[in-house]
Amino acid sequence: MPQYIYQHSSWPQFHWDHKQVSQPLAAARHAQGQLGGRLAALGFSQQAEANLQSLTEEVIKSSEIEGETLDRVQVRSSLAKRLGVEDASLPLVDRQVEAVVDLMLDATQNYQAPLTAERLWSWQAALFPTGRSGLSLVETGQWRSDVQGPMQVISGPLGRERVHFQAPAAMRLNQEMALFLAWFAQKQDLDAVIKAAIAHIWFVTIHPFADGNGRIARAITELQLARSESSPQRFYSMSAQIRQRRNEYYQILETTQRGDLDITAWLEWFLSCLQGALAQTETLLSAVLQKAAFWQTWGQSQVNERQRMMLNRLLDGFEGKLTSSKWAKLAKCSQDTASRDLVNLEERGLLRKGPAGGRSSSYDLVLPGKPNPRDSAS
């Protein structure tokens, strides 16, 4: 009896219960349409901000799923420069972040371009610009080999490892990927969202690279979802949802890859994840509108460049408490300059100082129409 899905004689002829999948598919498509309607009411700058925030989340969360943490400010900075959203005092970005951003932008902004082996090789090489993952060498710009043994997904301590999945042998990869890419290029009587789900499970099952397969599978998913909406703009993040449900994600992958060619359960999970991602746009759009309202109230011309940069950091989701020492570090200025900036903004009503004094003093934004949580606590 076949152990893995690709060992079945009818591979890769996937099938599913269309009736069972029709309702969640309709719900996801309806949510996509509603999102389009909401976005149409936003101004160009607000749409650009929402796109920037969504792409930032997608890049960061896709890497987090694989256990890699990217600097949010650098990711946003790199995306902003390429999209022309911001032009102010953006920090330097390291090579690794630039490469990952390049991959995601190519997938989403050039979604109509053909998906080819050469394009996939360039994506995978971009993930490992030094040719290494940590201390280990990584084969890049080519399909993997089995020189170091079969490609396996393993967990557990040394000596007690558990093999969750073993990919097809490297000798099959040229044929497997040629079949996958030909299918992806075809126009089919198949909903574009369903095609995104199939492409994801098919690609990670082939597992054609030595490393980076998960991130590239999610990039392919984003490309196909962009095709489903005929738009390069991304206003939700599938990877953010997958990150929240990472244990479920790995479980449904393993179950599907160890099953037969009926992928109904996988499609249902993918569609529920998509609905969750679309629902999260409410939070995203609220933040975008809040940021727009803040600057409409205060006016960017009333602050210096350093203050504008730091206020935007707060509006984009600053973690922890803002103190003068953090301001000095992030704005790359002296402690005295940081203190003057903060006092100036407090006096003008843009920031509110917390009850603690001295070196423990911290500051909150004063948001238009929003009560300050410290007021209710006092």
pLDDT digits (tens, 9 = 90+) for 63-82: 999 989 998 889 988 999 88
**Average per-residue pLDDT in the chain?**
89
- If asked whether residues 41 and 155 sit together in one domain, one would say yes
- If asked whether residues 351 and 279 sit together in one domain, one would say no
CA distances from 341 to 15, 90, 297, 303 (A): 62, 19, 19, 9
CA distance 117 to 110: 16
pLDDT over 60 at 246, yes or no: yes
- If asked whether residues 364 and 242 sit together in one domain, one would say no
CA angle (45, 51, 52) in 5-degree steps: 90
Q: Is residue 331 part of a domain?
A: yes
- CATH code of the domain in which 338 resides: 1.10.10.10
Q: Is residue 296 part of a domain?
A: no
Q: Are 131 and 138 spatial neighbours (Cβ–Cβ below 8 Å)?
A: yes
Overall domain count for the chain: 2
- If asked whether residues 211 and 316 sit together in one domain, one would say no
Is residue 86 very low, low, confident or very high in pLDDT (cuts 50, 70, 90)? Answer: low
- If asked whether residues 324 and 192 sit together in one domain, one would say no
* 16 or 38, higher pLDDT: 16
- If asked whether residues 270 and 346 sit together in one domain, one would say no
Q: Determine the structural domain holding residue 308 and report its residue range.
A: 302-377
- If asked whether residues 86 and 49 sit together in one domain, one would say yes
- If asked whether residues 217 and 313 sit together in one domain, one would say no
- Predicted confidence (pLDDT) per residue in 23-45, tens digit: 999 999 999 988 888 887 778 88
**Is the C-alpha dihedral spanning 12, 17, 18, 22 positive or negative?**
negative
- CATH code of the domain in which 16 resides: 1.10.3290.10
Q: Is residue 172 part of a domain?
A: yes
Is residue 299 very low, low, confident or very high in pLDDT (cuts 50, 70, 90)? Answer: confident
- If asked whether residues 27 and 80 sit together in one domain, one would say yes
pLDDT over 90 at 184, yes or no: yes
* 280 or 21, higher pLDDT: 21
Q: Are 249 and 242 spatial neighbours (Cβ–Cβ below 8 Å)?
A: yes
Residue 54 has, within 13 A of its CA and on its CB side, a CA count of: 28
CA distance 119 to 132: 20
- If asked whether residues 221 and 360 sit together in one domain, one would say no
pLDDT over 60 at 374, yes or no: no
pLDDT over 60 at 309, yes or no: yes
CA distance 271 to 252: 13
Average pLDDT over residues 325-343: 91
Q: Can you give the three-state secondary structure of 212-253, one letter per residue?
A: CHHHHHHHHHHHHHHHHHCCCCCCCCHHHHHHHCHHHHHHHH
Q: Can you give the three-state secondary structure of 171-192, one letter per residue?
A: HHHHHHHHHHHHHHHCCCCCCH
Q: Is residue 293 part of a domain?
A: no
pLDDT at 141: 87
